[in-house]
């Protein structure tokens, strides 16, 4: 969909959202186990295949996966991120597999906060990666200063992307869903291939699907990402990013 939203397009979005609510049980299974989706090649601003060396260290990038309206962070942390055992909000255990790339420092996570689903939108983003040090109150009640965290300023949840986006502070009940990355051994190209951990996709569609369909000019916000996905800096997507 391109151009100004007309009444017919608006009606199609409404119909699609109603149909999605009725048939939601047919969506790919979600939860703590790995769910494979389309193997999606990530593309840079010039629509060329993205390679690890193209990413600026400490700069948060954004792409949409496994659905065309569900945002994800892509970050080169600058230091290795190792595999970590985690639990979702239901207590299910899973293993985050660690970063990829020459230094094992490249990670990707769903950018939908697990508390109230704050996420980057075109107008504003309350959740972002902070490469510089920030201060927050840990779950142990200590005043902590740390760099390299994902911070949601909506309710002050803080996640550690070096350890599978585990929760460091705030009301978030579980880590951010992890996006599995793979690098083609022959070409060095980056691919998104799966999602694992406790995801928020169905809840996101229930609460924000209608708005997301309008924002992305789509009839169906549940449309899965295809063979390629564009990658942009978060600051180039969201007009305003809130820092706290």
| Helical H segments across 2-135, by residue range | 7-22
Tell me if 217 sits within 8 A of 8, measured CB to CB: no
Q: What is the DSSP letter of 241?
A: B
**Coil, helix or strand at residue 120:** coil
Instruction: Tell me the per-residue pLDDT of 29-77, one tens digit each, with 9 for 90 and over.
Output: 344 479 999 999 999 999 999 999 999 999 999 999 999 999 999 999 9
DSSP assignment letter at 15: H
Residue 168 lies in a domain: no
Domain count, the chain: 1
CA–CA dist 72, 201 (Å, integer): 12
Measure Cα distances from 91 to 85, 86, 223 in Å. 12, 9, 29
Q: Is residue 135 part of a domain?
A: no
Q: In this structure, is residue 151 part of a structural domain? A: no
Q: Does the residue 192 lie in any domain?
A: yes
What's the pLDDT at 33?
76
Query: Going residue by residue through the chain (244 aa), what tens digit of pLDDT does each one get?
Result: 444 555 554 444 444 444 443 333 323 334 447 999 999 999 999 999 999 999 999 999 999 999 999 999 999 999 999 999 999 999 999 999 999 999 999 999 999 999 999 999 999 999 999 999 999 999 889 999 999 999 999 999 999 999 999 999 999 999 999 999 999 999 999 999 999 999 999 999 999 999 999 999 999 999 999 999 999 999 999 999 999 8
Residue 146 lies in a domain: no
Residue in 86, 75, 76 with CA at minimum distance from that of residue 127? 75
Q: How many CB atoms lie within 10 A of CB 84?
A: 18
Q: Is residue 164 part of a domain?
A: no
Chain center to CA of 183: 18
pLDDT in tens, 87-104: 999 999 999 999 999 999
Residue 75 is predicted with a pLDDT of: 98
Q: Phi and psi (nearest 5°) for 50?
A: -80, 135
Domain that holds residue 113: 7-126+173-237
List, in sequence order, every residue forming a beta bridge with 63; answer none if it has no partner: 72
Is residue 153, in this structure, part of any structural domain at all? no
Residue 91 lies in a domain: yes
Which residues are registered as beta bridge partners of 191?
A: 41, 182
Rounded CA separation 16/182 (Å): 32
Secondary structure of 18-53 in the HEC alphabet?
HHHHHCHHHCCCCCCCCEEEEEEEEECCCCCECCHH
- CATH number for the domain including 204? 2.102.10.10
Is the pTM value of this prediction over 0.75?
Answer: yes
Among candidate residues 161, 158, 162, the one with its CA nearest the CA of residue 145? 158
pLDDT at 6: 53
């Amino acid at each position: 969909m391109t151009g100004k939203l007309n009444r017919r397009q608006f009606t199609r979005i409404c119909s699609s959202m109603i149909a999605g609510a009725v048939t939601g049980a047919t969506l790919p299974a979600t939860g703590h186990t790995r769910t494979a989706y389309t193997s999606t090649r990530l593309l840079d601003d010039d629509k060329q295949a993205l390679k690890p060396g193209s990413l600026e260290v400490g700069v948060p990038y954004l792409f949409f996966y496994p659905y065309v309206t569900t945002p994800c962070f892509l970050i080169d942390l600058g230091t290795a991120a190792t595999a970590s055992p985690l639990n979702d909000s239901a207590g299910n255990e899973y293993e985050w597999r660690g970063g990829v790339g020459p230094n094992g420092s490249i990670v990707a996570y769903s950018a939908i906060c697990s508390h109230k689903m704050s996420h980057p939108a075109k107008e504003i983003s309350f959740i972002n990666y902070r490469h510089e040090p920030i201060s927050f109150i840990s779950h142990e009640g200590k005043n902590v200063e740390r760099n390299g965290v994902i911070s949601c300023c909506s309710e002050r949840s803080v996640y550690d992307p070096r350890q599978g986006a585990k929760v460091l502070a705030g009301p978030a009940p579980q880590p951010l869903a992890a996006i599995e990355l793979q690098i083609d051994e022959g070409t060095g190209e980056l691919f998104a291939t799966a999602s694992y951990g406790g995801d928020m996709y169905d809840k996101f569609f229930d609460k924000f699907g209608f708005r997301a369909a309008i924002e992305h000019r789509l009839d169906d916000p549940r449309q899965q990402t295809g063979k390629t996905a564009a990658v942009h800096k978060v600051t180039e997507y969201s007009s305003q990013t809130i820092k706290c």
